[in-house]
Amino acid sequence: MKNKTYFLNTALAVVVCAAMAAVVLIRSLAPGVVIPKLNIPNMVLLSLMALVIDYYAARGAKRCYVCVGLFSAVTFGLLPLAAGFAPLMDCLVLALVGGIVFTLTTLLYSTIQDRLSSGPAAKAAPILSAIGLLLASQCFAGMIL
């Protein structure tokens, strides 16, 4: 079996690229529409979408958390800049926060999946645990902000 070490980062890049393509499309077709900010809960949402894709496509892949943090910082920093979503100085902040958020979300989601794999679990358990983690991150972001 092939080594799928960087599949998670590729899935994150695809998910963020799709979101930024939607932003470009919406801005070109309907310039008056208010687009949501790329804040912590939205970063967690994009991260969890990539993690669920990774869970179903590349089970048991080894992860280097340093590489996960670096590549996610590059993804969250460059793709919004390329889409015209944020100016250069905001992209540096997005890169820092995105790297931290994605690394912590990956660590928490991996812990949840390790607990689920210890016993019999339903096929929808990764999706439901992702929804629970998303709700928890929204509560946490509400406490910070």
> Any idea how long the chain is?
145
User: Which CA distances in Å does 134 have to 17, 85, 144?
Assistant: 20, 23, 15
pLDDT given for residue 114 in this prediction: 81
- Mean pLDDT over all residues of the chain? 88
> How large is the average pLDDT for residues 74-94?
90
Q: What are phi and psi of 42, to 5 degrees?
A: -70, -35
Q: What is the pLDDT of residues 116-132, one digit of tens each?
A: 777 676 778 888 889 99
Tokens of 69: 């943090």
Q: What is the pLDDT of residues 22-61, one digit of tens each?
A: 999 999 999 889 988 888 999 999 999 999 999 888 876 7
Maximum pairwise Cα distance, the chain: 50
Question: pTM for the complete prediction?
Answer: 0.89
